[in-house]
Amino acid sequence: MVETVSKSVVAWPGKAQAHTSARNPGVPFDLAWLEGLRVNQSAVSRRTSTLGTRRAVKKDAQAAWLLKAITCIDLTTLSGDDTAARVERLCAKARRPLRDDLLDALGMSGQPITTGAVCVYHRFVKTAVDALEGSGIPVAAVSTGFPAGLNPHSLKLKEIEASVADGAKEIDIVVTREHVLTGNWQALYSEMRDFRAACGDAHVKAILGTGDIRTLSNIAKASMICMMAGADFIKTSTGKESVNATLDVSLVMLRMIREYLARTGVAVGFKPAGGVSSAKSVLQYQILMKEELGRAWLEADLFRIGASSLLADIERQLEHHVSGRYSAFNRHPVA
């Protein structure tokens, strides 16, 4: 499925254990890590196509998994017509993602259930930070010329620094896809190292733009290079590409996280973004995370879901679990 020159990572040796650290320090650039790396696309498809048939989560267990998914959502608004008022409403929803009556019915009254983060453009970082004050919910800012990533490099670094100065605790950067498409791995590594340095204490999520870099082999190699350069998370997409997060792409990226963990002992997080809009789909991603990486990757420090409408569908499914009836989607607004 995904192989390196030294061993197959399909039959994973030794069950490497995650040692979660505050940051991924990265490692020196070593092109040998990519030698012989190849992906069997048909094997990947066979693996992911069985997720919905081999594993089923029902009733109380499903409700518990969906509650966990809420805590891993990066609740996102990245539209051209965003306003401060919209961001403030989104932050209010992040603080209180479920109605009180549903929490009571689920036996979760008084539990600190919030989303994992709120993700916005730089312009609204300060607005979100103020709206979330005291909640413990971090603000994530998209940066580096999001979504195309074609701004001058010096401006990308200044944008990161400005978002951190405004209070962003996480920075979602976009890599230069040209470096991947031309196989210029040294340039990708150097770019990512600069981004990580500019983030300071803020965690950095590297958006690969998987719909643009075309092949699963490119995705595997770009994932590894970004982790080598210090990415704390690797993320599938901006949500603006024609094809965004898919299970196939996610499986390849998770296998690279597993390879990096085995080589370094450092646990790197994963964020699918774009297209994860239903409770059914998020359950498949959670199952994939659990089976490929283990229980630790179901928590928000190692798993995030970039989404906006997903929360409303989860709320609908939880209401159905409680009442036996589906409500209209518009009864569960996100913002």
Please give the Cα distance from 175 to 196 (Å, whole number): 12
CA distances from 62 to 112, 304, 318 (A): 19, 18, 9
What percentage of the chain carries pLDDT values higher than 90? 82
What is the pLDDT of the chain when averaged over all its residues? Answer: 91
Q: Are 185 and 31 in contact (CB under 8 A)?
A: yes
Residue 53 in tokens: 């048939």
Examine the pLDDT at 21 and tell me if it is beyond 70: no
Please give the Cα distance from 220 to 213 (Å, whole number): 11
Among 156, 169, 205, 235, the active-site one is 235
Give 270's strand partners: 234, 303
Annotation marks residue 290 as catalytic: no
Say which CATH topology domain 31-39+55-331 has: TIM Barrel (3.20.20)
Residue 262 buriedness (CB in 10 A; 0-12 / 13-18 / 19+): middle
Examine the pLDDT at 250 and tell me if it is beyond 70: yes
Q: Give the pTM.
A: 0.92
Model confidence pLDDT, tens digit, residues 79-128: 999 999 999 999 999 999 999 999 999 999 888 899 999 999 999 999 99
Annotation marks residue 68 as catalytic: no
What does DSSP assign to residue 138?
P
Among 74, 156, 169, 172, the active-site one is 172
Residue 326 confidence (pLDDT): 78
For residue 117, the one-letter residue type is: A
Q: Are strands 73-76 and 269-271 parallel, antiparallel or unpaired?
A: unpaired
Residues 6+ apart with CB under 8 A from 60: 321
Residue 20 confidence (pLDDT): 44
Residue 58 confidence (pLDDT): 86
Examine the pLDDT at 11 and tell me if it is beyond 60: no
Q: Are 307 and 66 in contact (CB under 8 A)?
A: no
Residue 2 confidence (pLDDT): 57
For residue 26, the one-letter residue type is: G
In DSSP notation, 140-185 reads EEE-SSTTTT-S-HHHHHHHHHHHHHTT-SEEEEE--HHHHHTT-H
In DSSP notation, 190-222 reads HHHHHHHHHHTTSEEEEE--HHHH--HHHHHHH
Among 93, 205, 221, 271, the active-site one is 271
Within 10 angstroms of residue 255's Cβ, the number of other Cβ atoms is 24
Higher pLDDT, 183 or 308: 183
Nearest to 254 by CA among 6, 34, 9: 9
Please give the Cα distance from 246 to 253 (Å, whole number): 11
Please give the Cα distance from 114 to 99 (Å, whole number): 12
Annotation marks residue 30 as catalytic: no
Domain-by-domain residue ranges, the chain?
Answer: 31-39+55-331
